[in-house]
């Protein structure tokens, strides 16, 4: 059992297009049948390690290799991509790029088609795996009709047909709602046990991955392996957050309540934490010492939705219908719910991109008569992918675009754009081309380009999807800063902790209906709503339950308040 299936020996790699090595002197052994989490911030080199294991390096990505990397006994410099494909199977991050067939069945069969297998044999294999993964009823459906979680499972089925001994998952949780994320992790676990496969999960969302047992965490930063320990051991070392990977929340909460993590033997599962009255008491007293400030300010109604709905086509199973809500000035609202529940549709309606039933008013003005352009001066919309919003080459021009199209004079534009750049912390970059910026910075550009029109409400579609903790914090802190300046902000999100930590109110959607309009904490205490909207409790709640705290919600709230105390506005001045 202890023979290594993967072995890096003093391995370094430098992409031809880059000046510095991406991987530096890597030494790593992974044994057959192990389940590994490869964690690290964006740009740390964790994906590059993955690309060595499936042969993309050096077969597709060219560069300089020193040292040696053996995968299943084969030297990667001497093995073709074709040979690799039977050893290593990869599930890519972007399910839409991996799912290339016109139907589910065709996509699962893709590799078999390329092997020239007979039609009968293919159908047999496809049926077998579809049954195994419980997607038989999807076989004739097209990719457009599937949810993010379903696409992920189809992509998995498409590589399982090879029965390779090594499976690599590249950020499998990036685009999934919380419930689908949990389900995906459970499926990975099940498959791994059945096939006795070696599984490598590349992720920065440690807490979610740890919902199933993981043998070992390998932590990568700046091209080097900085930790390689069994999960429990690694969690005892306070190292994750030093490199910008978020530690599981329950551990942070325990540490905040002055519980000595070193004295607890097993940290990797809440269920395995020791039943200790001492810890219970520490948590309870910590909860009590934190003051819960109630928000007593009277809110001014801003946007009113009155029985709003939209149906794309007659065949749509769950059209958005009958949404009524009032959004107040200064609200920071999260819109949550399963993929396809109508979240994006609602935002498009508010912005006037699509027509709607019912009535929408902003400060008593009916929006029905305003064009998209006119509405945008009151309500700004930021798309998920900044690359789909950016049309100019230079930062200044991109932010100025909306004003220029409104024929504002150039002096005013200059003044307004510079002011916005300062608010957004982008002023030093104003003469840069946009192509030189990071994802987080591009996101800020797109927010700035909306902000410059001085809308009262800003709506953002999944602003942090697929981002590591550092970028996540950068984007969310910036939004909080804007909220503190008095802007009303609405975000669509799948991230439960984001919802709790940053937003003050949640609208939950399921099957086209608004099923809850309440505080995030209240939402996550209602098991029925949680299951209907495909949400999931955070580990903080589970921790409180584990220690039978009198009021778990108060504990969660206390932790959030604790985190917010450390927050400062100053970075933007």
Partner 1 sequence: MNDSKILGYQPGNSFIHALNATTKMIFLILVSIACMVTYDTRFLIAICILSLILLKIAGIKWKQVSFIVKFIIVFAIINIIAVFIFQPTYGETLYHSRTVLINAGYFTLTAQELFYLFNVSLKYICSIPLVLLFLLTTNPSQFAASLNKIGVSYKVSYAVSLALRYIPNIQESYWSISAAQQARGNELSKKASLGKRIHGTLNIVTPLIFSSLDRIDTISTAMQLRRFGSKKKRTWYVAESFSLADYLVTSLAFILVLVVILLFKVNSGRFYNPFV
Partner 2 sequence: MNNQKGLSVKSVVAIGIGAAIYVILARFTSIPTGIPNTNIEIVYPFLALLATIYGPVVGFSVGFIGHALSDFLMYGQTWWSWVLATAILGLIIGLYGMRLDLENGVFTTKQMIGFNIVQVIANVVSWLIIAPVGDILIYSEPQNKVFLQGATATITNSISILILGTILLKAYAATKVKKGSLRKD
Which residues within the stretch 284-323 sit at the binding site for partner 2 (CB under 8 A)?
none
Residues between 339 and 368 that touch partner 1 (CB under 8 A) = 348, 351-354
- Identify the three-state secondary structure at position 196: coil
In the list 86, 110, 432, 439, the residue contacting partner 2 (rule: CB under 8 A) is 432
Binder among 9, 100, 258, 551 for partner 1 (CB under 8 A): 100
The answer to whether 118 contacts partner 1 (rule: CB under 8 A) is yes
Q: Is 436 in the site for partner 1 (CB under 8 A)?
A: no
Find tokens 């912390």 and name the residue.
425
Dihedral angle, C-alpha 313, 317, 318, 321, nearest 10 ° = 50
Q: Which is nearer to partner 2, 432 or 562 (CB)?
A: 432
The dihedrals phi and psi of 528, each to the nearest 5 degrees, come to: -65, -45
| Among partner 1, partner 2, none, partner that 433 touches (CB below 5 to 8 angstroms by kind) | partner 2
Other CB atoms within a 10 A radius of the CB of residue 317 amount to 8
**Distance, CA of 255 to CA of 367 (rounded, Å):** 50
Nearest to 90 by CA among 200, 11, 177: 200
Distance CA 176, CA 71 (A): 30
Q: In what helix (H) or strand (E) does residue 334 lie, and over which residues does it extend?
A: strand 332-337
**19 forms part of the interface with partner 2 (CB under 8 A):** yes
- Identify what 1 binds: partner 2, partner 1, none; CB under 5 to 8 Å per kind: none
Quick one: what does residue 436 bind among partner 2, partner 1, none, with the CB cut-off 5 to 8 Å set by partner type? partner 2
Please report, for the chain, how many H helices and E strands are present, in that order: 23, 20
Q: Identify which of residues 84 and 286 has a Cβ nearer to partner 1 in the complex.
A: 84
Whole-Å CA distances, 397 to 271, 382, 418, 452, 555: 54, 17, 11, 12, 47
**Structural contact between residues 492 and 346, judged by C-beta atoms closer than 8 angstroms:** no
Which residues in 371-410 contact partner 2 (CB under 8 A)?
393
User: In the bound complex, what is the minimum distance in angstroms from residue 436's beta carbon to partner 2?
Assistant: 5
The order of strands in the sheet holding 457-461 is 379-382, 457-461, 488-492, 332-337, 505-510, 513-518
Q: Contact, 516 vs 508, CB < 8 A?
A: yes
- Rounded least distance, CB 396 to partner 2, Å: 12
Q: At which residue do the structure tokens 């078999």 appear?
A: 112
Q: Does the protein bind partner 2 through residue 60 (CB under 8 A)?
A: yes
Q: Which does 432 bind (CB under 5 to 8 A by kind): partner 2, partner 1, none?
A: partner 2
Judged by beta carbon distances under 5 to 8 A according to partner kind, the member of partner 1, partner 2, none in contact with residue 431 is: partner 2
Instruction: Restricting to residues 125-154, name those near partner 2 by CB under 8 A.
Output: none
Q: Given candidates 66, 114, 412, 438, which one binds partner 1 under the rule CB under 8 A?
A: 114
> What is the closest distance, in whole angstroms, from the C-beta atom of residue 565 to partner 2 in the complex?
31
Q: Which of 2, 18, 97, 566 binds partner 1 (CB under 8 A)?
A: 97
**Residue 397 within binding range of partner 1, rule CB under 8 A:** no
Within a 10 A sphere around the Cβ of 565, how many other Cβ atoms? 9
- Tell me how far apart the alpha carbons of residues 249 and 78 are, in angstroms, rounded to a whole number: 44
Candidate residues 140, 291, 355, 435; the one interacting with partner 2 per rule CB under 8 A? 435
Query: Look-up: residue for tokens 């039978």?
Result: 548
Chain residues binding partner 2 by CB under 8 A are 19, 59-60, 62, 393, 428-429, 431-433, 435-436
Positions touching partner 1 (CB under 8 A) are 54, 56, 60, 81-82, 85, 89-90, 92, 94, 96-98, 100-103, 105-106, 109-119, 122-123, 126, 142-144, 158-159, 312-313, 348, 351-354, 371-373, 375-376, 380-381, 383, 385, 387-391, 401-402, 405-406, 449
């Amino acid at each position: 059992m202890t023979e290594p299936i993967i072995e890096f020996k003093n391995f370094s790699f430098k992409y031809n297009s880059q000046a510095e090595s991406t991987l530096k002197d890597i030494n790593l052994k992974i044994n057959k049948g192990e389940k590994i989490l490869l964690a690290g911030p964006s740009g740390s080199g964790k994906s590059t390690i993955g690309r060595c294991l499936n042969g993309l390096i050096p077969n597709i990505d060219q560069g300089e290799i020193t040292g040696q990397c053996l995968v299943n006994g084969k030297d990667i410099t001497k093995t073709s991509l074709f040979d690799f494909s039977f050893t290593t199977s990869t599930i890519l991050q972007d399910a839409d790029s991996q799912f290339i067939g016109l139907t589910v069945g065709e996509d699962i069969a893709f590799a078999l088609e390329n092997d020239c297998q007979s039609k009968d044999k293919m159908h047999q294999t496809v049926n077998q795996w579809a049954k195994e993964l419980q997607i038989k009823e999807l076989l004739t459906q097209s990719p457009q009709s599937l949810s993010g979680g379903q696409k992920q499972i189809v992509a998995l089925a498409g590589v399982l047909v090879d029965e390779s001994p090594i499976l690599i998952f590249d950020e499998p949780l990036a685009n999934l709602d919380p419930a689908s994320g949990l389900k995906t992790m459970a499926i990975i676990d099940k498959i791994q046990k059945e096939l006795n496969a070696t599984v490598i999960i590349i992720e920065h969302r440690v807490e979610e991955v740890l919902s199933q047992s993981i043998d070992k965490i390998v932590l990568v930063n700046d091209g080097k392996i900085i930790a390689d320990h069994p999960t429990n051991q690694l969690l005892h070392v306070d190292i994750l957050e030093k490199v910008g990977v978020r530690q599981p929340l329950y551990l942070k909460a325990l540490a905040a309540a002055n519980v000595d993590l070193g004295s607890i033997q097993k940290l990797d599962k809440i269920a395995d934490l020791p039943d200790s009255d001492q810890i219970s008491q520490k948590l309870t007293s910590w909860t009590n010492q934190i003051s819960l400030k109630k928000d007593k300010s009277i809110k001014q109604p801003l946007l009113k939705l009155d029985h709003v709905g939209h149906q794309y086509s007659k065949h749509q199973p769950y059209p958005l219908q009958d949404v009524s809500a009032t959004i107040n000035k200064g609200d920071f609202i999260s819109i949550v719910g399963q993929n396809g529940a109508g979240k994006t549709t609602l935002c498009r309606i508010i912005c006037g991109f699509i027509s709607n039933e019912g009535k929408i008013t902003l400060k008593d003005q009916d929006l029905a008569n305003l064009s998209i352009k006119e509405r945008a001066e009151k309500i700004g919309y930021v798309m998920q992918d900044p690359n789909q919003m950016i049309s100019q080459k230079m930062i200044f021009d991109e932010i100025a675009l909306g004003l220029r199209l409104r024929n504002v004079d150039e002096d005013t534009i200059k003044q307004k754009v510079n002011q916005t750049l300062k608010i957004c912390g982008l002023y030093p970059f104003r003469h840069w081309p946009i192509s030189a910026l990071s994802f987080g910075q591009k996101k800020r550009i797109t927010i700035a380009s909306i902000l410059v029109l001085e809308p009262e409400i800003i709506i953002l579609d999944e602003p942090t999807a697929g981002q590591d903790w550092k970028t996540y914090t950068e984007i969310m802190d910036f939004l909080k800063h804007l909220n503190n300046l008095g802007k009303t902000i609405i975000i669509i999100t799948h991230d439960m902790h984001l919802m709790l930590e940053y937003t003050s109110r949640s609208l939950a959607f399921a099957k086209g209906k608004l099923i809850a309009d309440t505080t995030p904490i209240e939402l996550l205490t209602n098991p029925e709503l949680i299951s209907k909207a495909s949400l999931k409790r955070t580990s903080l709640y589970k921790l409180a339950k584990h220690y039978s705290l009198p009021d778990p919600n108060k504990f969660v709230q206390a932790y959030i308040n604790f985190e917010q105390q450390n927050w400062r506005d100053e970075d933007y001045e």
